[in-house]
Each structure stands twice: as C-alpha cells, then as structure tokens.
Chain A
C-alpha cells in the first residue's frame, strides 16, 4: 500500500478520534444547565388557574381549606390552600411572609399531590420541623399537624 494512503488513513483516524472527543465535550456543554422547565408547567398552573378546578375536591368533608399560623409573631394569619403551592419565608414573593429572624427568605413550601398535602424544606438554614423531626424530604401533613419554622408554628385547618 502506498505511503500516501497510509498517511491519509493515519490522519483520518486521528480526525475520528478528535471528532469523538469534541462531540463528547459538546454534549457536556449542552447538558450543563439541563432543560428549562416550561413556565406553564411550573408556577403557572398552580398559581394562576387553580381556583376553578381545585374547588371541587375541597368540598369534601375532612379536607383542609386553609393554612393557619398558630404561634409566633404572625399568629392568626391564614392563607387559602387554593393558592397552592404556598411559599413560606421572609422574602417578598412568599405567600405567608413571616416576620421571624430564624426563617430563611424562601424557607419551605406546602403543596398538594393528589388529595395529600406535603411540606417541603427549600434548603433553609434552620430547618423545617414536622412535630419534633427535622424533615429532609417532602413530608405528608394532615389536619392539625404542627409544622414548625423558626419560632413560628403552622397547621392545616378546615
């Protein structure tokens, strides 16, 4: 086989090798930030158009209708669960703005899955407690379960 053919084969092989390396890098590059969740699938559904359809299940007996602050500086405040998911924290976008030094800006949220309600910690500094247990993953809460955030205690009410 001629010298030139061998040379071309060698160059072609090195090219294949580098094409592979570069395409692997480009896959990594496009993977860096993942895919954006479409806005409509995220907050839009829950916040914007919940009132109409979410009403039906809440008519049933024994289903909580609102979240109330029972202890702490904001005691007495309440938010309807129709606005789920409910963000709790000190930030301006929180549904319940707590005036409590031990609460993070976006501290926790309360959301529904089926007819069950969950509380989820959003990486807060001081943690979210259900009863006496600090939660690490979304945890089911029922009517009257005490959720403690800083010095504040919240619970689901009918």
Chain B
C-alpha cells in the first residue's frame, strides 16, 4: 500500500456527475420497465399506478443524485445507478410474486413494504453522506464498532426479543418491528477490521517464519484470526446461520490478506475453514442435511418438507426459463418457497432467463470492481481496507447466495443484496454504498495543487507556453 500522488501521475479524476445522471435514467428504465412488463405480462394491461410508482422511484434516485452532487462531487459515477437498477428490478420481481400469490388466494404487499424500506434506505444513505464528511473519522470508532457488532450479533440470543425463524436464530423482535442485526453488524465489523489491521499490519506481515513454501505468521498474531474463527463458529452453532458465519470468516480472511500481502494467511484460513466445515458436517444435523441435499437433491425431493423441495423447484424453474426466460407472467416462480427473499435469483432466472441472470451477476461484479478500484486509488490505508472490505462483503454474499441457489455450493440462507425482500439487508446495503461513495469521493478528489496561485497574482497577459 504505497502512497501515490495523483498530481504527479499527470491526471485527475473527473467528476462525471453527468455520466451518473445518464446511467440513472437508464437504471430507472430498467426498474420501471420491469414494473410495466410485469403488469402487461400478468394482468394484460399497463399497471394503473405506473406513474405514481415510477415517480416515487425516480424521486428517490434523484434525491440521492442531488445529494451526491452537493456533498460528494467526485464520488464514483457508476455505483449509485447500478444499485438503483438492482433495487428497481428486485421491486418488480417481488411485485410479480405478490401478484402470483394474490391469484392463488392470499393477499401480499411485500413490494409496497420493500418500497418503504427502500425509502428508508435512501434516507439513511443521504444521512450517511451528510454526516460522514471524511471516512477517516470512522477509524476512531474501531473498538466501539467492534463491541457494537458483537452485541448486535448476540441480541437474537436473548430471550424475549430474539426469535427463531425457520431454524435460524438471527432475528430480533421489538414490538411491530422485525430486524436482522447481523446485517448491521457486517458493516460495523468491516470498520473494526479495517481500523485494527491498519494499525497492526506490520506485526502481522513481517513477523513469522517460513515453513516449506508458506510464510506462517507468529503464534501470538494468530489471536485475532482465532477469535474471528470462534465467533463465526459460534454463529454457526448457536444461531444455526451457515451463511453469516461463512460471510464473516471469509471477510476477515480477505481483509487480513489484503492488509498483510501474505498468502500464508489464506492457507491458514482455508485450513481452519475446512476443519470447521468438516466438524460442523459431523456434529450438526442441519449442516449434514444441507450437504446431503446439495449432493443428492432429487433423493430428498419429497422427503423432508421444504428443505429439498425449494432448491429442486428452483432448478426446475431456471431450467424451464432457459436462455431468455418465460417472460413476466408466463412462469411459475411462486412454486419456490421464499422466492421473494432467498430465491429471487431463481425467479429472475425463470422469467427472464440466463441472459438476465448474467446481467445481474455482472452488475454485482461492477459494484465489487468499483469498490476495489476505490481501494487502489485511495490515499490512506484505512480507506483502502474499508472499501476492500465492503466490496468483499458484496462479493462473498452474492457468491454464497447465487452459488447456493444454482447448486454450485450447499445452500445457505443469505439475502441477495438490493434484490431480495428484506428491510434490514436493504437498509444496511444502502449505508454500505454511501460509505463506499464517501471513500471514493475522497480518493478521486484531486490533491491540492500547490503552485497554482503563485502566478495568478498580477496576471496581465495570458500566453501559451510550449514546453519541450
């Protein structure tokens, strides 16, 4: 992580707010177009509230854009449009599943709730950008946010407010309000890791000895990685949440590797992960089930309830969708239980086909690329680690959930960022994007030009000077 001076390299980043606006218009076309296509496909007419819905969506996006223009003019131009497009597409697919359920007799308004959550997400996005003027201020809260993250992760274990939903104890319940504290904890954990590693990376990177071909870290430096391993195992054991434990452990490994540039950590981490996963397979029946269903889904199709029915139906759906999908309204995505949350990618695969799934995965790839690019050009170590961490949260989460839905890896419950129905996830991800934009604004802003105003004094005649 060497310090570079962009003024020396001979270029500055442009603001690109116009490009962002252009992409936002296209993103709105993706979101509102999907809503209109759902109406035409399912109800054979353009939905009556198209203008109200589209106007609301456009207003949210424009507010976010104007706030960026004012408080973060150099921020990355691609992130907000990509996020807006994913969120719009997700809303339309959730709306389509609502309509299917309505046709089957039960009334659902998940799409409206999701729109309310999106509004809250954009409000928090704006608030984050307004309050957080410099991402380096977050470094002060390294240990505070670590403590807060652990408390949040423990909250669902408390009797009274914690509750078990479909086996996983990751929800808290406050009056009419359901919340998944793990989603907020992941943002706080990235801040903690970044703050911790930026201070201790030298000790972690330089001390240690070489065994065979691998640089092994010192025993005492293994402390944090062991602690993180135990936390993620704890989540796996006590909250029965396979996805989150994978996410947190993977996140820590990636950040450790990026901070120290030592592949030894990856080897150690991969071995610990393999050990933990093998032990979990033999010790916990729900992990064993997940593995067996992944390996032999069709043997379990009719045996134990939803567990195998869900991934198998998702595969049928995606197979039926094929290359360009059935079209909105012609598929049966509601056959898959929880199609609107965990299995929303399967619903997209069924009605819009592989073409759209590839586009969606590419959009996530763009988010991750922009986060890593921000890390590359960022001037301070904390910002580099922060944006790497936030980018890898998206990368890991999308890999785990899309991999699970498409049966590449055993199924674990995680939300698909911005697409899935689920308030806590949506709000937390909007905040993550706000932090990423703040870091990229700092990184792309040109360094102050020192010699500029010396010659501005007494400038009588401007003349062109040719050099060399």
Contact = CB atoms under 8 A, between A and B. Distances in A.
Contact of A20 (B19, B30, B353): B30
Contacts of B457: 53-54, 56-57
Interface stretch (A65-73, A111-119, A143-151): A111-119
Contacts of A47: 467
A112 B22 CA distance: 39
B330 A6 contact: yes
A23 interface: yes
A118 B453 CA distance: 13
Contacts of B7: 37
Interface in A30-71: 30-31, 33-37, 39-50, 53-54, 56-57
B445 to A, nearest CB: 12
Interface string B442-455: 00100010111111
B356 A123 contact: no
A13 B352 contact: yes
Interface centre among B14, B359, B454 (most CB of A within 10 A): B454
Given A34-B12, A34-B13, A18 B359 contact: yes
A19 interface: yes
Interface in B361-383: 362-363, 366, 369-370
A158 B421 CA distance: 70
Interface residues of B, number: 64
A50 B451 CA distance: 10
B81 interface: yes
B362 to A, nearest CB: 5
Contacts of A85: 450-451
B30 A16 contact: yes
Contact of A27 (B6, B11, B19, B452): B19
A43 B362 CA distance: 41
A138 interface: yes
A29 B8 CA distance: 22
Contacts of B362: 21
A36 B33 CA distance: 38
Contacts of B41: 6, 9
B461 to A, nearest CB: 10
Contact of B8 (A1, A6, A123): A123
Interface in B8-63: 8, 10-14, 16, 19, 22-23, 26-27, 29-30, 33-34, 37, 40-41, 44
Contacts of A113: 448, 450-454
B248 interface: no
Contact of A31 (B13, B26, B81, B453): B13
A84 interface: yes
Given A45-B451, A46-B454, A6 B327 contact: yes
Interface in B411-468: 444, 448, 450-455, 457-460, 463-465, 467
Contact of B23 (A9, A14, A24, A123): A24
A138 B448 contact: yes
Nearest to B377: A34
Contacts of A75: none
Contact of A33 (B11, B27, B37, B452): B11
B2 interface: yes
B137 interface: no
Contact of B22 (A23, A40, A49, A123): A23
6 contacts: A13-B352, A20-B359, A54-B455, A84-B451, A118-B450, A121-B3
Interface of A: 1, 6-7, 9-11, 13-14, 16-21, 23-25, 27-28, 30-31, 33-37, 39-50, 53-54, 56-57, 84-85, 106, 111-114, 118, 120-123, 136, 138
Given A24-B366, A49-B465, A113-B450, 5 more contacts: A10-B327, A13-B328, A23-B22, A40-B464, A46-B455
> Closest 8 A-B residue pairs measured CB to CB?
A111-B450, A48-B465, A10-B327, A34-B11, A111-B451, A34-B13, A85-B451, A112-B454
